[in-house]
């Protein structure tokens, strides 16, 4: 493929020229694994932070569904939660969440642009562009979120596998494309979601009251978008989790079990999410 500058004849040259997950340069990951990128190139750092933020977001998704279940218990339960959620400590955690979303989302765009071959050779430039855009958005978001509390102040390449594998992370090219497609959709859906729940209403932290949540989700267009968001984020999150689990070196049987487990978890998550928003919409 013409867009790469890989010297033909070198081991792995053909695979590297394929579109898809981006193979890293270098001599291989440290023994301690992807979570210890010390002494490695910036792309490896980006990969590690991308993975940590991705896993953090999966954790947040389930925490979030748990917290949202309080809405089922009615207005006074939600008000109690809002009191806690609008304290400075919790608003700071929201800023941390915003950092995770911005890093993961912008790095995801970079990975996708390089891996699909749209911008194959500018990953460093893309990394720094993402850093500048992300920092600006984070500062603006943090000022907005914390300002409501009336406070005065307040990339890619991947580890080169030691054993040669067809694609890094043990993930198939098809799964990678689905991760990219759902990631691209999330870029829009998550931005809409964050703005709707943090930057529209006037309350502290921008958080919606019980009635405002019901009104919001009672709108059929919003309802449809939120359902689509639920399916997309669950698919992306569990594909991501699959890639991290596959990296642990399970055999074929282990991988089949992982797939079955993730399908069950995914279907249960979507079913519960539909029940949750369906119940709330019926109260609107
Ligand atoms: C903001 C929009 C998002 C975009 C553009 C995006 C994009 C991506 C891309 C392109 C990858 C593949 C990275 C690679 O192959 O190196 C990825 C991986 C991943 N994503 Fe996202 N993502 C987004 C949001 C999310 C959310 C909301 C979650 C969790 C609920 C999540 C969880 C994960 C996980 C766990 C991985 C696997 C990381 C790995 O294999 O190292 N992502 N994402
Ligand atoms: C701190 C920022 C956030 C706030 C204040 C917030 C608030 C809410 C609220 C009030 C709802 C219920 C009404 C609705 O369906 O729109 C909701 C639903 C939802 N949120 Fe968030 N959200 C935040 C961040 C996130 C993030 C980062 C994700 C993805 C990892 C996410 C994923 C979802 C999903 C999938 C639903 C639909 C649940 C369902 O269908 O049952 N939210 N959010």
- Report pLDDT digits (tens) over 264-284: 999 999 999 999 999 999 998
What pLDDT, on a 0 to 100 scale, did the predictor assign at position 145?
85
46 band by pLDDT with thresholds 50, 70 and 90: confident
Ligand that lies nearest to the alpha carbon of residue 114, given by its number in the listed order:
1
Residue 233 pLDDT exceeds 90: yes
What pLDDT, on a 0 to 100 scale, did the predictor assign at position 276?
96
Question: Using CB atoms within 10 A of its CB, is residue 7 exposed (0-12), middle (13-18) or buried (19+)?
Answer: exposed
Q: Tell me: the pLDDT tens digits for 127-181?
A: 999 999 999 999 999 988 887 654 333 334 454 444 434 444 445 788 889 999 9
For 31-71, the three-class secondary structure string (H helix, E strand, C coil) is CCCCCCCCCCCHHHHHHHHHHHHHHHHHHHHHHHHHHHHHH
Residue 32 pLDDT exceeds 90: no
| 189 C-beta closer than 6 A to ligand 1 | no
Residue 234: CB partners within 8 Å, gap ≥ 6? 61, 266, 269, 270, 273
What pLDDT, on a 0 to 100 scale, did the predictor assign at position 11?
64
124 band by pLDDT with thresholds 50, 70 and 90: confident
**CA–CA separation, 91 and 86 (whole Å):** 6
What pLDDT, on a 0 to 100 scale, did the predictor assign at position 16?
65
**CA 107 – ligand 2 centroid, Å:** 22
Distance (Å) of CA 177 to CA 3, 93, 242 = 19, 31, 14
Residue 83 pLDDT exceeds 50: yes
86 band by pLDDT with thresholds 50, 70 and 90: confident
Q: Which residue has the higher pLDDT, 198 or 252?
A: 252
> Which of 104, 118, 126, 138 most suits a substitution to test ligand 1, by most atoms within 8 Å of the C-beta?
104
Give me the mean pLDDT over the 195-223 stretch. 86
> Which of 59, 61, 64 most suits a substitution to test ligand 2, by most atoms within 8 Å of the C-beta?
64
197 band by pLDDT with thresholds 50, 70 and 90: confident
Predicted model pTM: 0.82
| 60 C-beta closer than 6 A to ligand 2 | yes
User: Among 2-16, 79-93, 206-220, which is the least confidently predicted range?
Assistant: 2-16
Residue 255: CB partners within 8 Å, gap ≥ 6? 170, 246
Domains and CATH numbers, the chain: 20-283 (1.20.1300.10)
Alpha carbons within 13 angstroms on the beta-carbon side of residue 109 total: 18
Q: Tell me: the pLDDT tens digits for 61-71?
A: 999 999 999 99
> Which of 197, 219, 237, 281 most suits a substitution to test ligand 2, by most atoms within 8 Å of the C-beta?
197
Give helix then strand counts, H and E, for the chain: 9, 0
| 180 C-beta closer than 6 A to ligand 1 | yes
Q: Tell me: the pLDDT tens digits for 207-217?
A: 888 999 999 99
| 21 C-beta closer than 6 A to ligand 1 | yes
The number of the ligand 2 atom at minimal distance from the alpha carbon of 197 is 5
What pLDDT, on a 0 to 100 scale, did the predictor assign at position 203?
73
Number of neighbours of residue 123 by Cβ within 10 angstroms? 21
| 205 C-beta closer than 6 A to ligand 2 | no
| 54 C-beta closer than 6 A to ligand 1 | yes
Residue 30 pLDDT exceeds 90: no
């Amino acid at each position: 493929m013409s867009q790469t500058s890989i010297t033909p004849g070198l081991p792995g040259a053909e695979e590297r020229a394929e579109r898809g997950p981006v193979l890293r340069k270098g001599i291989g990951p440290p023994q301690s694994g992807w979570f210890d990128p010390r002494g490695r190139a910036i792309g490896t750092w980006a990969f590690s932070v991308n993975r940590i933020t991705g896993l953090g977001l999966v954790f947040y998704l389930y925490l979030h569904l748990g917290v949202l279940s309080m809405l089922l218990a009615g207005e006074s339960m939600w008000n109690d939660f809002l009191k806690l959620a609008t304290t400075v400590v919790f608003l700071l955690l929201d800023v941390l969440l915003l950092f995770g979303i911005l890093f993961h989302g912008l790095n995801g765009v970079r990975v996708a642009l390089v891996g699909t071959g749209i911008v194959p050779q500018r990953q460093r430039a893309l990394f720094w562009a993402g850093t500048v855009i992300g920092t600006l958005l984070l500062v603006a978001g943090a000022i907005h979120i914390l300002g409501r509390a009336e406070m005065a102040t307040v990339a890619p390449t991947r580890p080169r596998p030691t054993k040669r594998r067809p694609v890094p992370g043990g993930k198939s090219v098809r799964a990678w494309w689905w991760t990219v497609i759902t990631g691209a959709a999330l870029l829009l859906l998550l931005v809409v979601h964050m703005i709707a729940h943090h930057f529209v209403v006037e309350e502290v932290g921008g958080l919606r009251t019980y009635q405002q949540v019901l009104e919001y989700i009672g709108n059929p267009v919003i309802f449809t978008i939120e359902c689509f968001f639920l399916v997309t984020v669950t698919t992306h999150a569990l594909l991501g989790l699959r890639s991290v689990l596959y990296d642990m070196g399970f055999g074929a049987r282990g991988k089949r079990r992982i797939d079955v487990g993730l399908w069950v978890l995914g279907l249960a998550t979507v079913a519960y999410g539909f029940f949750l928003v369906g119940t709330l919409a019926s109260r609107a």
